[in-house]
Amino acid sequence: MAKIKTYFECQQCGYQTPRWMGRCPECGSWGTVVEEHPTGGGRGVGVRNPSAPPVPITEVQGPALTRIPTGFPEVDQTLGGGVVPGSVVLIGGDPGIGKSTLLLQVAARLANQGRKALYVSGEESAEQIRVRAERISAMSPLLYLAAETLLEAIIEHGERIRPDLLIVDSVQTTYVGGLESPPGSLSQVREVATRLMSFSKERGISTCLIGHVTKDGSFAGPKALEHIVDTVIYFEGERQHTYRILRVTKNRFGSTHEIGIFEMTETGLREVGNPSQLFLAERPQGVTGSVVVVAMEGTRPLLVEIQALVAPTHASLPRRVVTGVDLHRVAILLAVLEKRLGMPLSTCDVFVNVVGGVRITEPAADLGIVTAVTSSFRNIPLDPGMVCFGEVGLTGEIRAVRHAVKRLHEAWQLGFNRCFLPEANEGKHREGAEIDVIGVGTVDAMMAILFS
């Protein structure tokens, strides 16, 4: 038999090389390139149909997509209406964020609707899981538990139980018997995911694969599996805060950008019905540097408070400390304020924070950031009844954003009475809005209304 040559692969990004390297030339990480042992043909075990002849696209039958509701509306909404039989969902997140808790609850809810769920854990014993399940009321005779790390055995359990939902916790502790690489290595996690994909597809079983996000790269993380699985979800949140956000980043059966919001309680995860209310609960009134923006998360408007603190700097290089929004975005907005409004921000430290640990990736938050910064810089508090949204361009112009009506409605529902928005969004929505709408064309004009 020909000897199969080993090769080296970066655990961070998957870069392959015939020789060992201290630093990955692809992603630049140190010490992540390790030796891999291919099994020869073991890779890429997809579903192989006996070759079917090509057909015109108009004659291809569309799939009859059925979905199983999990009993958790927030999870279903994130997935696009429930889990799709035969699909593999990868759930990534930091260790301790609540992935096991969430999926145990999902499994129990599904089982309580008369469907079978199999929860396989390589991290805890069945007894430990039972103790947790009792505490969070996730008990059901149709919820099966197994403590197992060998993939072949997991598939055997799956064949015997034939669950509607199979949960594998986690991809890093599961290993394929024939592979030489240790559990958690890139070739192992890939092989585990690939084999679970073909098992799920063949049997029509929905599979949830839990993957820890690993910062040091000593294990291969969910990033390395995103291209294999059908759906990728991240479970995010700050450990210090109680709420968690389920965010979908890839979905072969639905849209991305949807989110689900939960709160971690003593008795497991609880769905948050009105997230805006939660995020604004502790909002201070009459202070400078605080403004509420209406952001969109997927199809859902979300009101969050942005805080800014601008203080004279004592360092030669002014500090820019930002959480919850993009640092580069803030740097651009500060430059716009400096150049267009003449605010000498290069002599100031600037801190920007989205309250509650939410992360906003939308440019519609721009207007909130410049308003909060200006309020803190001028030391003038804002009217607590106002909200704003809008993208800011480099010339200081305020650009239109999508979903203006939804945003206005959410702001009005939460009791806000005045909304600053892009001029281009104003006209169409003035009528019918039960909130005072002020369209603004430039940052300059808006600050003049607010602070003069």
Q: Between 169 and 297, whose beta carbon lies closer to Mg ion? A: 169
In one-letter notation, the amino acid at residue 37 is H
* Residue of 12, 32, 87, 101 that binds ligand TYD (CB under 6 A): 101
- Any contact of residue 100 with Mg ion (CB under 5 A)? yes
Encoding tokens for residue 351? 């801190």
**Residue nearer to ligand TYD on the CB measure, 101 or 185:** 101
For 164-232, give the DSSP string: SEEEEE-TTT-B-TT--SPTTSHHHHHHHHHHHHHHHHHHT-EEEEEEE--SSSSS--GGGGTTTSSEE
Residues 6 or more apart whose CB falls under 8 angstroms from that of 55 comprise none
Q: How far is the CB of 127 from ligand TYD (least distance, A)?
A: 15
- Residue 337: strand, helix, or coil: helix
Say if CB 226 and CB 190 are below 8 A apart: no
Quick check: 136 binds ligand TYD (CB under 6 A)? yes
Residue 214 as a binder of Mg ion (CB under 5 A): the answer is no
Is-contact 278 302, C-beta < 8 A? Answer: no
Q: Which of the listed partners (Mg ion, ligand TYD, none) does 207 bind, with a CB threshold of 5 to 8 Å by partner kind?
A: none
Alpha carbon 156 to its chain's center? 32
Which lies closer to ligand TYD via its Cβ, residue 154 or residue 369?
154
* Paired tokens of 374: 């200006």
Residue 173 binding ligand TYD, by CB under 6 A? no
Q: Does residue 96 belong to the site contacting ligand TYD (CB under 6 A)?
A: yes
In the complex, the smallest distance separating the C-beta of residue 80 from ligand TYD, rounded to whole angstroms, is 23
Strands (E), 192-347: 206-212, 231-236, 243-251, 259-265, 268-271, 290-297, 300-312, 320-323
Draw the binding track, 260-279, toward ligand TYD (x: CB under 6 A; -: no contact).
----x-xxx-----------
Nearer to Mg ion, 127 or 202 (CB): 127
* Contact call for residue 97 and ligand TYD (CB under 6 A): yes
- Cβ of residue 98: shortest distance to ligand TYD, in angstroms? 4
Site string for Mg ion, 59-88 (x = CB under 5 A): ------------------------------
Binding site for Mg ion (CB under 5 A): 100
Binding site for ligand TYD (CB under 6 A): 93, 95-101, 132, 135-136, 264, 266-268
